Amino acid sequence: MRKVVVWKIASLFKSHLQITIYHDKPFEEILSRGIAGLFRVDDGSDINKLYGNDTFVRLAQLWREYGGLSGVQLLSGHIVSTDKRKLNDQEGNYGKIVTNFRWLKDEELHGVNSVFGYGPNITAGIHYTAFTSEGIRYCPFMKQQLLAKGVKFVQKKLASVDDLAEEGHPIVVNCGGFNGGELAGDDAGNMIPIRGVLLKMDASWHKHFLYLDYTTITIPTIDTVYVGTVKQEGVDGPMHILPEDVEDVWRRYEPIQPALRRARQIGHFVGIRPGRKQIRVEAEDRTTKSGKKYRLVHNYGHGGNGFTLAYGSGLHAAHLALGVKTDRYDGIVPSPLLKDPVKKTWKKAEEFYKEGLNLKSG
């Protein structure tokens, strides 16, 4: 399961219920471990802006109280583009949530007084201040908080959410990440794998995040810098890095900041983002084959925005699970997607690169 989502929900539930968190893999093998976690809202729907705002408020609380011990860091930086239209939605998506959002002036992008010294192909940029919540620190921090409150953790492979109801759990929250649709039994076909790659660099001098559009990025965290990425939609493997991945990342990133190529690479990470047209935050009452009734709440499908939206969507899911009024969500929750239980077959990255080369040569 995607642990950053389920652990946040558990933190909201704990004062009311005895909680057991089931996970099929150790922390070292999950997606959340490798995430840099820069706050940025991709889809600016009203519900996502609400989720994002709730998460931002929570991250600010953690930063004030615990600082780097929580894995949360206050960070400023820039997103630049060759096409201003690609940045226009950013202000609407999260400009009123983050701090210091502004558009960069031309003299900040170009010319002798520019920090960047970009060529004329870079036509626009934005600046803002927000938080990173680095998975390798953030998730263990949350787990320790939950353990201290009596939450139990059980590593176990599940075939269906019904398995937990059969064990006597009256409320089940499905935070299964990419496998959430399959666990639900009615949504596997709506899930889309999005393969991603990050390189970890020893570059303590690099203090600001820098994006060229949304796939060419650096994100400094507490003691390392992440460089990436790839967003291979419809690709579910391999789970190891390929030479083509590294070549692709540097081909795009090096021109905007050549100095980073001189830094020492100290690691890398490959993960599969749980893509879906919209996050599934829904509640239903189900009955197992043996007749056991239970409350099922879904909270998965966050794509590449899990760390930005998880606390907010978890708060919504907690309302649904506990029967709390949902007035603040009513009217902005999108209609559910049509059910599609059939799991699809996806490509591997080797095919992705081969097709890309064929397109270039054609």
pLDDT digits (tens, 9 = 90+) for 43-62: 999 999 999 999 999 999 99
Decide if 340 is inside a domain: no
Decide if 251 is inside a domain: yes
The domain total for the chain is: 1
- Residues with pLDDT less than 50, the chain: 1, 358-362
C-beta separation of 256 from 242 below 8 A: no
State the DSSP string of 23-34: ESS-GGGSGGGG
Tell which residue, 246, 264, 250, has the closest CA to residue 204: 264
**What region does 331 belong to: left with phi over 0, alpha with psi -120 to 50, or beta?**
left
Q: For residue range 173-231, what is the model confidence (pLDDT) as tens digits?
A: 999 999 999 999 999 999 999 999 999 999 999 999 999 999 999 999 999 999 999 99
pTM for this structure? 0.94
Q: What is the pLDDT of residue 144?
A: 96
The CATH number of the domain holding residue 314 is 3.40.50.720
H helices of the chain, where? 3-13, 46-66, 88-94, 106-109, 135-148, 162-166, 180-184, 243-253, 306-322, 349-361
Structure tokens at 185: 């039994």
Taking the CB of residue 95, how many other CB atoms lie within 10 A of it? 16
Burial class from Cβ neighbours inside 10 Å (0-12, 13-18, 19+) for residue 201 reads: buried
Decide if 347 is inside a domain: no
Decide if 160 is inside a domain: yes
C-beta separation of 210 from 254 below 8 A: no
Decide if 263 is inside a domain: yes
Q: Give the torsion through C-alpha atoms of 68, 72, 73, 77, to 10 deg.
A: 160
Q: What is the pLDDT of residue 201?
A: 98
Q: What is the pLDDT of residue 184?
A: 99
Element (H, E) at 334: none
Q: What is the pLDDT of residue 356?
A: 78
Give the bridge partners for 154, in sequence order. 22
Residue 285 and residue 170: Cα distance in Å, rounded?
Answer: 10
C-beta separation of 219 from 86 below 8 A: no
Residue 235 and residue 238: Cα distance in Å, rounded?
Answer: 9
C-beta separation of 309 from 279 below 8 A: yes
Peptide bond into 99 cis (omega under 30): no
C-beta separation of 201 from 195 below 8 A: no
C-beta separation of 68 from 222 below 8 A: yes
Decide if 140 is inside a domain: yes
Give the bridge partners for 124, in sequence order. 81
Decide if 262 is inside a domain: yes
Q: What is the pLDDT of residue 359?
A: 44
Give the bridge partners for 22, in sequence order. 154
Domain assignment of residue 270, given as a range? 3-322
Decide if 136 is inside a domain: yes
For Cα atoms 280, 286, 290, give the angle at the middle one, nearest 5 degrees. 140
